Amino acid sequence: MSDKNNRKPGVSRPQGERDDRGFGEELFRQAPRGSGLFSVRQPILQPQQPPSRSGGVFDVSGTDCVETTRVTKLAPAKIEAPAEACLVQIYGPEIGKRYALDTPTFTIGRDISNSIVVDLDNVSRRHCALSNRGGKIYVSDLGSTNGTFLNGEELLEERLLSTGDLIKIGGAIFKFLYGGNVEALYYEEIYQMTIIDGLTQVNNKRYFLEFLEREMSRCRRYERDLSLLMFDIDHFKRVNDTYGHLAGDAVLRELGALFKTRVRREECFARYGGEEFALVLPETGLKAARQCGERFCSLVAEHEFIFEDTVIPTTISIGVAAMLPDTADTAQFIKLADDQLYRAKHEGRNRVCGPW
């Protein structure tokens, strides 16, 4: 037997002697979870004295052998973990707030027992639920009074969510984000909320004012045409009173979608506030701006705005203004178009007015 095997407890190891078993066990204990390192005990003959070589054959007789631990690296098991998912409130009482979907079931409603509490009168006590199954997120309505809407359509059965989906619950809208880069998506969404209106998904007033100021400066510098259209929905208060505020939201959202696809990239279409919108037309004179306004006016009057199988008659009034050499700033330019808008309303609505 070797000195090592006969060593009494408490006696130190001679200097330079290696404890291979202790090394393997320590490595196993320190191996991070999921690293693929597993301890496998295998007897390995390690001679303490070099074996002799005779006739090309190693002679290991008479040598002391010890049992050591070999640490074998195995391929980690391929377990597909669900990517991170969250909801971001982009419209409602807590705009910008993020909610991680880290539980099997997630509920939204007015009652304080819900995972997300939305304290609005048009939200049911238990409004809708999200389920995490197999790394995928599903949404379903819980028999709410006003319904749950996914990307503008009422949710009639459980649906699988995709990143970027919009969930409307009463007067609140949530955006679903999903994927390995959810953190980057969240910060991008926060930036978008500074320039995009949450309800209509068109540019907001802040972006509109910055865009208009830039275009006015360019117009002065290069002596280019610049026109502005201000318009709002006729009798919008009547829509809310007759059909409800959810119907009014639906009209605003559909109007935004209707115009958004018909605006050129170099133009700016924005929600100015309430039911009022604005359209900036660079490189466009008064005559072309009037024609554009008349097309939009006819487009809205002929379009069917439907909410819960009910057609909501909708028209708009438009005021048109062109930038003049003495137009000092954005406020004055907006007032020129606003004055024409009020004139269109006083003359009977559903029309376009301007200085022609």
Residues designated catalytic? 275
Among 303, 287, 300, which residue's Cα sits nearest to residue 350?
Answer: 300
Contact yes or no for 316/300 (Cβ under 8 A): yes
Dihedral angle of Cα 180, 186, 191, 192, to the nearest 10 degrees: 90
User: Rounded to an integer, what is the distance from CA 206 to the centroid of its chain?
Assistant: 20
DSSP-based three-state secondary structure for 276: strand
Question: 328-335 — which CB contacts under 8 Å span 24+ positions?
Answer: 329/213, 329/216, 330/209, 330/212, 330/213, 330/216, 333/212, 333/216, 333/228, 334/212, 334/228, 334/230, 334/278
Q: Which residue has the tokens 């050591």?
A: 68
Cβ-based burial of 217 (10 A; exposed 0-12, middle 13-18, buried ≥19)? exposed
CA atoms lying within 13 Å on the CB side of residue 181: 6
What CA–CA distance (Å, rounded) separates 281 from 292? 9
